[in-house]
């Protein structure tokens, strides 16, 4: 089959649903509506259905939440997108399904799920730092939690973007925007150990990525997602966990410690502070619990 535009693929899929799955007219219309919205979003982002990755799909779902579209409807959008990608994978249009690791949007509230500080501590201690893979994984987990990077920003970091003397990383975020983010002494020390003890032995000669696999190549987003989930289970963390929830935890824990919202916005790379303000709702719950616990009339 020849590959065409995103809308060609969409037409093929809708025809598949009509002929082979026997979907009713109203159902086909609903699928078509949701998938055309997704395709239009990809076009605005300079992507297409073939090049989209798990973060692209997650970002699209995030725009639905920003438009006050309910969790049940978000789940319907994801179901339509997931069905499309499964069809494209079966037809060998694409090598992998970017929706494979996405969780179904949950109805109970719209605030981001965050880890407790104890959860984070257990997660960071889960890898064995005396093992080469474990040392690399610990360095990655520390760096992500210490900086609040997106998973794509973490795996795309290059060695020359790290300033060990200053404890900073230069990050290229969405839209090619660059920002400097501190990563702290603990993460810096672990990255230093990883560079000397692991990367020096593993990295291919021309590989510029900071974090590499045992094959000497750049770590992928999907591999890091699986890595986080594996260590979460090892740490006894039963709540659903993804790299993005580490980013949520980074922001929430900073605000709980008294950080300024504008500073958190800068570190997260949000172009609009309204995106960061969701964490003030998390903070409200935290402050209420503190008040109830410590105030004599709480």
List 136, 247, 248, 253, catalytic entry = 247
- Per DSSP, 95 falls in state S
Return the closest-CA partner of residue 238 out of 105, 113, 59, 57.
113
**285 exposed, middle or buried (CB, 10 Å; 0-12, 13-18, 19+)?**
exposed
Rounded to whole angstroms, what are the CA distances from 136 to 154, 183, 214?
A: 13, 16, 10
Annotate 162-201 with DSSP letters as a single string: EETTTTEEEEE-GGG-EEEEE-HHHHHHHHHHHIIIIIHH
Find where tokens 């890091």 sit.
Answer: 224
Task: Assess whether 18 carries a catalytic annotation.
Answer: no
Please identify which of the residues 16, 86, 174, 193 carries the catalytic annotation: 174
- Angstrom distance (rounded) from CA 31 to CA 81: 9
Active-site annotation holds for 244: yes
The answer to whether residue 291 is catalytic is: no
Q: Is 145 a catalytic residue?
A: no
Angstrom distance (rounded) from CA 120 to CA 227: 15
Name the active-site residue from 244, 245, 248, 253.
244
Residue 286 annotated among the catalytic residues of the structure? no
247 is catalytic: yes
**Contact indicator for 122, 170 with CB cutoff of 8 Å:** no
What's the distance, CA 99 to chain centroid? 12
Active-site choice (136, 150, 199, 218) = 150
Q: What are phi and psi of 60, to 5 degrees?
A: -60, -45
Question: Are 50 and 94 a contacting pair, CB within 8 Å?
Answer: yes
In what order do the strands lie in the sheet containing 162-163?
162-163, 168-172, 178-182
Active site positions, annotated = 150, 174, 244, 247, 270, 279
């Amino acid at each position: 089959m020849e590959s065409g535009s995103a809308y060609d693929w969409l037409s093929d899929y809708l025809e598949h649903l009509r002929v082979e799955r026997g979907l009713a007219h109203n159902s086909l219309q609903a699928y078509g509506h949701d998938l055309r919205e997704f395709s239009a979003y990809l076009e605005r982002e300079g992507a297409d259905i073939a090049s989209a990755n798990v973060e692209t799909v997650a970002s699209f779902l995030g725009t639905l939440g920003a438009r006050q579209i309910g969790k049940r409807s978000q789940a319907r959008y994801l179901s339509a997108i997931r069905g499309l990608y499964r069809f494209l994978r079966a037809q060998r249009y694409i090598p992998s399904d970017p929706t494979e690791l996405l969780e179904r949007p949950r109805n109970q509230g719209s605030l981001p799920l965050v880890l407790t500080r104890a959860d984070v501590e257990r997660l960071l201690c889960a890898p064995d730092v005396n093992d080469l893979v474990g040392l690399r994984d610990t360095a990655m987990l520390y760096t992500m939690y210490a900086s609040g990077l997106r998973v794509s920003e973490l795996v795309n970091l290059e060695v020359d973007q790290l300033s060990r003397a200053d404890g900073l990383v230069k990050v290229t975020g969405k839209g090619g925007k660059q920002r400097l983010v501190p990563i702290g002494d603990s993460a810096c020390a672990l990255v230093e150990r990883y560079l000397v003890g692991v990367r020096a032995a593993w990295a291919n000669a021309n590989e510029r990525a900071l974090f590499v696999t045992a094959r000497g190549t750049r770590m992928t987003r999907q591999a890091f997602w699986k890595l986080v989930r594996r260590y979460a289970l090892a740490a006894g963390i039963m709540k659903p966990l993804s790299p993005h929830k580490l980013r949520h935890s980074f922001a929430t824990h900073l605000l709980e410690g008294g950080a300024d919202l504008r500073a958190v916005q800068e570190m997260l790379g949000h172009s609009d502070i309204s995106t960061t303000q969701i964490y003030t709702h998390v903070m409200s719950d935290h402050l209420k619990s503190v008040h109830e616990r410590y105030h004599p009339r709480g």
